[in-house]
Structure 1
């Protein structure tokens, strides 16, 4: 049933025949439905044939890889696929007859597939002649781990057992998983037959009068064995964010709406049963809410990823702090406590990745179920707490989480101080990830000549993260009267800023600015040449001065990095650029959104608007479900639509959250809960049009912001005692005025 190599089976004395190296399945034409931790992956005709990534999944385990429908012993002819939501899809096909006197199809086949549930098959006779149909559904599975599926491997078929408890069903069991397909709600019970490679439900005589219909329903259940204790589980129905109403640019409206729908489907909840959060054990608050977070992406990363989950929560802060709180607590409970080289765990270090079991990814990469090999998740954890504090996270949570942030900061300081250059650098272990930032592919770091640069490396954006974490935590500690600790952190951050300025800038004889920031420095502060998008994530961290921000902005706006559809991960002007590589020239949705945020924060509004405009145009071509990454080809007046990277996750957490990140950047929101001030420094509406948003959340209050065509900003619903601040700092003075009132929600019609 499979067109990919099988996983190794039992050994024998006979030599194994040679086989081609397995390749990662492509996803560009795969229909994905997700209701975390479950998802389905289907070809566009809906038929699951045991190939590629086809199947029903739950908790990283493939429950079913084959579900093949035949009518009169042949497959229906597909005519279309219709998404019905992030978790559901309808596949429509027809069953035709050679002897019909009409070319119109008379038997319509509709399959509705739902992640985490199963599917229905509806046959409708829309003709004038009665039909008698032979219907068969074949089901099979290998119960493979998602890591093996990602490697392009198909496991040996597991033989099913036939059960009849509650109706006809097939059940599969292996040492690593179990699954069950149950035919329910059928007009009549099917015949069942099973063999070593699968089972078949058969309805030999389905009578369909003119205008008649026939419906069967299948449930698909199962999961990994053994059930990992404390592993994340499905979240409760209530989402931990507000639902905004956006009026303005239609593209932005679509991107926010689709992104939030996808994020709803990507939610997971902490199942650890841990203690520590106010409100009682088990990760539940006094209001009955659970500690929710966003899984990284579907299909490959539908689990807790420190970096990805943190960024998703940071991007959604304009809609409330509850997601940030759940993400912080989920990671805090799993913060490193011991030195364990096999997991790259260390006291204070924040988790990188959580799986139900150890996973083998090929090329010697073998990761334990709980893996800490990330250099950036730890400083990002600290900054998420600081940001959530500024957005109004309740003091009880801030104070309870503060010790975890201090331990995380201690790991950052200790790791950097142990480095010969005083930088936050990563030293991977054999068998672990080679590169330990968001650009984590094996060839993610190349120099201007296209040569791969191997670790240990200090990445530029990681130094920015560390600086932002230190200065932010110092401010938080100072608000708690911890003045000595705050001063110590500020001094450490100042030294890191000076080392950064000395080590990372590369003088350039050509280009939009005389210098750019190196993607990384190796040993002896040897900078890695070649402009890359990483420097865009420095904006807003505070590690750059005003002149540095201007130079970085110029590079981000240049055609070398701005493809016209978003920010390229690597300059198009250097050897090794590949528009469809993972990190060598493609456009990452979240990377572009973070750059837009940083450009707005540093007052570079024209450059921000140019990047945002390209991203929003790309979103239209992807029907607003942004892929993890997409092609970095240059946009022209006659360019076709951009192409998704063929193995990109979609939906993907921080890509789905990017719409809210861009929305917050264009509103110019800079909250400061300790001082009860809301900074507003939006770009002038002449760049991307007027904007009105209701349903924002600030310190627990519902907030509305309107920016009219003249640039005047109106705020409604400020929390008691808060004020609006439109002056001072970079980016100030870009509107004609701002005010606060208590009137109705502001709104404008959509931009044409």
Structure 2
């Protein structure tokens, strides 16, 4: 029987990229599902079971202490006591990337002599195997004393003081757990072929006394891949805004920034010995805690109102790994931008095996170009813009050459056998279906990808024009206009009974055969410029109608179509970032009513998730009696572009649109009630925006030489 992907709906996750810990709500790790300590895509521990007097404590509560830390509280009771009140309380604090502490408190009136044991085991599985629902055989462990591993005798050892532990090693991974007992009571350590244990067989607690036991967990893939991103050493590369207004938006921004702090990774390479640390946002925890071109770019784009440093770091991390040669296995090509970077090659099942450095996406490359253009508009210093410009031009060349080689002149993907079948953000096996529910196979030209390519070409043309390169500017604008015409002729489908007379097909196949059936993809076209004003109005009508607007956010597929499934990965669920991008586009297109509907639904949904937005959630219709929205059971949470969506919605509702060429900040707020944001950042300087109840905006502290338009 095929193993199934572990569900995460009731899993407690704490993260400090590239490490995380996934736990059931009682805090006990029993080697099941996805639970365990992880580092660099490797499961370091899957079992950490605490026993008090050879019994599991009784769980009574779980409390997140931050994105990287969680406290599990349990009690230990005594049947022979005259009361059912607990007299020993256990507080177990788990910290991603560090380990955990166990605080034992005697709150009773008599002394307690406790037998405390923590059993430990691991399979050192790759995250791809865990995602497939596979648990490997237990790896033997050996006792470590000082810096050396023991002989693995399976016997208890107790010599020495201070940090002592257990080590697990295979050809592809290593884990080490050490017990640090600062009060001078080192544990007994047992090692063996199926795992090991720390034990304190006679731990005495007098009334009111407590004892703290600490474990450190470390490890990762072996050998460690050279030059692989790791934990950041510098502070966050964005400003910390203060937002006032709609309490839901305030909470969404605050929680999102907290989660983004934990999802940061840093490139070990720098532009110079004294250059800044280049940070970026990992795609999501637990499955995608790595550099992903598309996801990291979108997270950086959404965060631009808080400064350009995150975008700069993202651009450099990807530029250093830009394709330079043709490689069929990696799907690498000169100029192509990375899809994902892992510590090792991984087997994902169903014949999908991806190399550690993989380029199989059609959208990351044009999105890279647009990120540089938008970062320029938000005030990236000219020296950085000029240094990154050759990489953007190489990326644009890949777009132009790929579309020139297509029979229809579109940006289309042609996956290799064994690689990703669908190569845009909707990348599941059944991501593209027609109106009858039939799967449509590649090669395909997706609608939003044409929009990305158009926006990349027009944006790069503007940037090159500002550098005096008028000839190249005109060439790109001419190509973009040709793509816009080809798009107009190929992608619109009639809909006599719909909310608008036409809609944009999700994709076209060979022979310009459009894939019928309304889907959310068209919402990502609104900000690209590929649609005219009439097209924006038609798309807005579809995004707001009940087929696509669930009331909690934008469905990925129309609920009126066969094959709609509110809990399908891309066949009817709501994606947080997709809804936020649609809100951005609707605001930019002046479709205020439709933008308000989607934003309001998204913010109401956020309240049900404690403002930690999942990657995606159910697309069931919101009614007066409907239950709260439910996260997709295997969704990443926290997830990069979901966490950044609060800032994206804030910026969209404020109507912020900078123009570096003219030094003008456009401020055209969408009516959404009074709103104030301070600590925003433009050209390296913090500014603030206040919108009153009548929608009038006031901007303070713009950089010298900048003016507002709005």
State TM-score, norm by structure 2.
Answer: 0.97
Report Cα offsets for 1:559-585 as digits up to 9, x if no partner: 000000000000000000000010000
1:179 aligns with one of 175, 181, 184: 175
* Cα displacement (A) at 1:186: 4.6
Structure 1, residues 651-683: CA drift from partner, whole Å, max 9, x if none? 000000000000000000010122110001111
Tell me, in whole angstroms, the C-alpha distance in 2 between the residues paired with 1:462 and 1:240: 29
Identify the residue that residue 415 of structure 1 maps to in structure 2. Answer: 402
1:254 and 2:235 are equivalent in the alignment:
no
2:78 is equivalent to residue 97 of structure 1: yes
Within-5 A mapping of 1:308-707: 308-684=295-671, 688-707=672-691
Deviation at 1:452, TM superposition (A): 0.3
Indicate yes or no: 2:61 matched with 1:80: yes
Contact 2:234 2:277 in 1 (8 A): no
User: Quick one: which of 174, 188, 191 aligns to 1:191?
Assistant: 188
Gaps of 5+ in 1: 1-19, 727-752
Query: 2:652 & 2:704 partners in 1: Cα distance?
Result: 24
Counterpart secondary structure, 2:678: strand
Partners of 1:496 and 1:520 lie apart in 2 by 15
- How far apart, in 2, do the equivalents of 1:219 and 1:105 lie? 29
Is 1:715 matched with 2:699?
yes
Q: Counterpart of 2:155?
A: none
Q: 2:45 corresponds to which residue? A: 64
Question: Contact conserved, 1:312 with 1:657, CA < 8 A, in 2?
Answer: yes
Please give the root-mean-square deviation of Cα atoms over the aligned residues, in Å: 0.8
Asked whether the 8 Å contact 2:179–2:216 carries over to 1, the reply is yes
1:34 matched to 2:31? The reply is: no
**CA distance in structure 1 between the aligned counterparts of 2:586 and 2:233, rounded to whole angstroms:** 36
Q: Distance in 1 between matches of 2:646 and 2:102?
A: 35
8 A contact 1:425–1:457 mirrored in 2: yes
SS at match of 1:162: strand
Alpha-carbon distance between aligned partners in 2 of 1:31 and 1:46, rounded to the nearest angstrom: 8
**Equivalence for 1:112:** 93
Determine if contact 2:54/2:117 at 8 Å carries over to the other structure: yes
Deviates more, 1:541-550 or 1:122-131: 122-131
Give the Å deviation of 1:429: 0.1
Deviations 1:27-71 (A, max 9, x none): 011111100011101111000011111111111011111100000
In the superposition, the TM-score normalised over structure 1's length comes to: 0.92
Aligned residues: 694
Q: Distance in 2 between matches of 1:396 and 1:532?
A: 41
Distance 2:82 2:630 in 1: 42
Cα distance in structure 2, aligned partners of 1:681 and 1:546? 17
| Corresponding residue number in structure 2 for 1:741 | none
1:132 is displaced (CA, Å) by: 1.2
> What corresponds to 1:143 in structure 2?
124
SS for the counterpart of 1:675 is coil
- Give 1:540 shift: 1.1
| 1:228, distance to aligned residue in structure 2 (A) | 0.2
CA contact (8 A) 1:45 1:80 kept: yes
Q: Which moved more, 1:98-107 or 1:71-80?
A: 98-107
The residue that corresponds to 1:232 in the other structure is 229
Separation in 2 of the partners of 1:437 and 1:529? 18
SS of the residue corresponding to residue 584 of structure 1 reads coil
2:112 aligned partner: 131
Relative to structure 2, which stretch is displaced further, 338-347 or 100-109? Answer: 100-109
| Alignment counterpart, residue 242 of structure 2, candidates 223, 237, 245 | 245
Task: Describe the SS at the equivalent of 1:195.
Answer: coil
SS of residue paired to 2:644: helix
The alpha carbon displacement at 1:331 in A equals: 0.4
- Could you list the per-position Cα deviations for residues 255-290 of structure 1 after superposition, in whole angstroms to 9, with x for gaps in the alignment? 00000000000000112x36xx3xx14xx62xxx30
**In the alignment, structure 1 residue 301 sits paired with structure 2 residue 297:** no
Contact kept? 1:138, 1:199, Cα under 8 Å = yes
Whether the 8 Å contact between 1:673 and 1:699 is mirrored in structure 2 is: no
- 1:214, distance to aligned residue in structure 2 (A): 1.3
Q: Does the 8 Å contact 1:48/1:67 carry over to 2?
A: yes
Q: Distance in 1 between matches of 2:378 and 2:523?
A: 23
Displacement of 1:398: 0.5
- Deviation for aligned residue 1:217: 0.3
Unmatched tracts of structure 2, length 5 or more:
147-161
